Amino acid sequence: MAESHDSEGSDVENDELSAWFVDQVLPLEGVLERYLRRNWRNASEIADLRQEVYARVWDGCALRRPDSAQAFVLATARNLLIDRARRAQIVAIDTFADMDALAPTVDELSPERHLTGRSELRLLQVALDLLPARCREVVELRKIEGLSQREVASRMGITEDTVERQVSKGVRALAQALQASATAVGLAPAGPLRKKGTLQ
Amino acid sequence: MTSTDLQEIEARAADWIAERDRYDATLPPDRQQALDAWLAASTAHRVAFLRLEHAWRRADRLGALPASGAQRRRTPLAWIAHPAVYRTAAAFCTVLVAVLLVTQFGRSPETQRYATARGQREQVALADGSHLTLNTATHVRTAVTPRAREVWLDEGEAFFDIAHDARRPFVVHAGAQTVTVLGTKFSLLREGDRLRVAVLEGRVQVKAPRGTPTVLTRDDAALAERDNVLVTRKSTQQLKAGLSWMQGKLVFDQATLADAARQFNRYGRKQLVIEDDAAARIGIGGVFDADNVEAFARLLHVGFGLDVNVVGMRSGCRVRPRERTG
C-alpha cells in the first residue's frame, strides 16, 4: 500500500512494488514495444527506451500505484519520447507533427489479450528454439527435465560454472525472444495473476 | 543511458539470476546481500533484473512439455529456429521476412528474398557482414557465397553498408544496370528502369549494358537510365537528407507540394491527392514523419489554409484551397 513516508522504501515495500511491477507492467511489454517502434524511428534505441520507461514507471509508482498500469506506462513512454525529441533539437515543424502522433491510440488502450496457457507454451517453444544449441540444451534440461544446474553439468559432462554461464546467456536470450514474439504476434503475455492482496 | 550501459546491466542481472538458479533460488547470505546492494544501487538495475527474472520464471511452463527433447522440437514453428534466421531476427519484423523466405525458397541457401510492405522499413544482415536497409515497398534477393556476393534490387530503395572484401566484389543488379562495389556505403532507388545512386562513402561503379563503367565516389549522386549515367556532386548534407528515410523521416528542401505528396504516397496506404494546380506548386520545406501523412495534411490546413478532406480511413486525404470561389 506504500503508506509509509520513508522515501527510501523498505524491503517489504520493494517486494510489493516488485510484485505489482511483474504482474501489471511487464506483461505490457508487447504493447510498449509496439508503441515505441511506431513512434521512434531509430530501432537501435528501442531497448534503451524500454528500459528507461520501466525505470521511470518504477520510480513514479514507488509511493502510489496508478489505476491503470497500461495508461501509465504509455503516458510515461510518450513523455520520454517527447523529452528525447526535444533534446535531439528536431526543428519545430517536425516536433509538432510528432507530438500529435504520439497520443496513444484507442487500439492500445483496449485491454490486452491474454495468452492462454497453450499459446504461452508455444511462444516459449519458439523462443527456446531460437537459442544457440548448447544454451538450449542447458535450458531444456533445467526447465523441461527439471534437473538442477549440478545435474545438468554431470549429464552434459561440462563444469557447473559453464552451466551457470549458459543459464545467464539463456536468461537474456529467452527474454529477448519472448519480447520479439510478443511484439510480432501482437499479444501481450499473461502475467501470473495469483498474488495475494491487490495493490491499488 | 547508452545501449552499452544497458547491455552491461542486463548481463550483470542475468548473471545474478543464473547464480541464484544454481542454488535453487536461495543464495548464500553474503551473496544475497551483494545482490540486494546491487539492486538498491539503481532503479535501472532493478527493472532489468525483474524483467529477466520474469522471463526465466515464465520458462518454468516448459515443464509441461514431454521430457523427450528430440521429438518435441519438430513443431510446426520450428523452422524459425534456423540460426541464420535468428541472427537477422534482431528486429521482430524480420521474422515476417523469414516466413516469406522459407515459403518462397524452402531450403535453398543460395538465394534469399527480402521484402518490405508499404511504409515498412527493414534491416537485413548478410552473412558477409554487410548490412542492407530496405525502404518502403522494396524487394531484394541476395546470394552470398564464398566466391561472390550478389544482390538483385527488384523494386524500391535500399541503403547498402558493404563489408570490405577485395576478393569478393559486391554486385548489385538493378534492372539493366549493374553496380559493383568493394566496401562502401551507398543507396539505390529503383524507379522502373531508372536508378538513382547516392554514395556516402567509398567507391562504386555503375554500368549500363552497353555503356562504359562510371565510377562514383563519396558525395556523388547519379541517375542511370538505359545507357546513360548522369553524375552530379552533392554536399554531404544534401546526401544525408536524401537518406533521412532510414530514420523514417522525409526531408523537403524547396520541394513543391506535388513532390512532397508523391514522396508521402510511396510510404502510406493513405494517398494524398492535391486537387488544385496552384496548391501543387506551393513550396514546402521541413522534416516530417514518413508514415504520418495525416499530420502533414493537418499542417497544410493550419499553415497554408488548404482544405483537407479525409476520404475514408483507407483512401487518404484530398487537399484543395479553402472556399474556392474561382
Using a CB-CB cut-off of 8 Å, the residues of chain B touching A34 are none
Residue A110 has pLDDT above 60, yes or no: no
Q: Which of B222, B173, B178, B172 has its CA nearest to residue B199?
A: B222
Query: How much is the pLDDT for A124?
Result: 83
Q: Closest Cα of chain A to B130: distance in Å?
A: 17
Indicate yes or no: CB of A145 within 8 angstroms of CB of B67.
Answer: yes
Task: Between A142 and B313, name the one with better pLDDT.
Answer: A142
Whether the pLDDT of residue B309 is over 80: the answer is no
Residue with cell string 542481472: B13
Give the pLDDT band (50/70/90) at residue B50: very high
pLDDT score recorded for residue A129: 85
Spatial separation of the C-alpha atoms in residues B205 and B190, rounded to whole Å: 16
d(CA B95, CA B19): 32
Are residues B296 and A97, on separate chains, in Cβ contact within 8 Å?
yes
A26 with B51: Cβ contact below 8 A: yes
Give the model's pLDDT for residue B230: 83
Q: Residue B80 and residue B16: Cα distance in Å, rounded?
A: 29
CA distance A175 to chain B (A): 5
Do the Cβ atoms of A144 and B96 come within 8 Å?
no
Chain A positions touching B73 (Cβ under 8 A) are 129
Alpha-carbon span B4 to B125, nearest angstrom: 20
Given this model, what pLDDT does residue B151 score? 93
Contact between chains at A18 and B58 (C-beta distance less than 8 A): no
Q: What per-residue confidence (pLDDT) applies to A40?
A: 83
d(CA B78, CA B56): 21
Structure confidence at residue B316 (pLDDT): 60
**Cβ within 8 Å, pair A125-B62:** yes
pLDDT at B270: 79
* φ and ψ of A22, to 5 deg: -70, -40
Phi-psi region of B137 (alpha: psi -120 to 50; beta: other; left: phi over 0): left
Percent with pLDDT over 70 in chain B: 79
As a whole number of angstroms, the distance between CA B33 and CA B297 comes to: 58
Contact A124, A135 (CB under 8 A): no
Quick: pLDDT tens for A39-87. Answer: 887 888 899 999 999 999 999 998 888 888 899 999 999 999 888 877 7
Task: Select from A145, A179, A74 the least CA-distant residue to B52.
Answer: A179
Find the closest chain B residue to A178 by CA distance.
B55
For residue A100, list chain B residues with Cβ-Cβ distance below 8 A.
292, 295, 298
Confidence check: pLDDT of B119 > 60: yes
pLDDT at B72 over 50: no
Mean pLDDT of chain B: 79
Q: Is ipTM beyond 0.85? A: no
The mean pLDDT value for B101-128 works out to 74
Residue A183 has pLDDT above 80, yes or no: no
CA dist A76 and A88 (Å) reads: 18
Instruction: Inspect the interface and report whether the beta carbons of A171 and B73 lie closer than 8 Å.
Output: no
Q: What is the DSSP letter of B89?
A: T
pLDDT band at A108 (very low <50, low <70, confident <90, very high): very low
Cα nearest neighbour of B297 on chain A: A97
What global pTM score does this model have?
Answer: 0.46
Residue B51 confidence (pLDDT) above 90 = yes
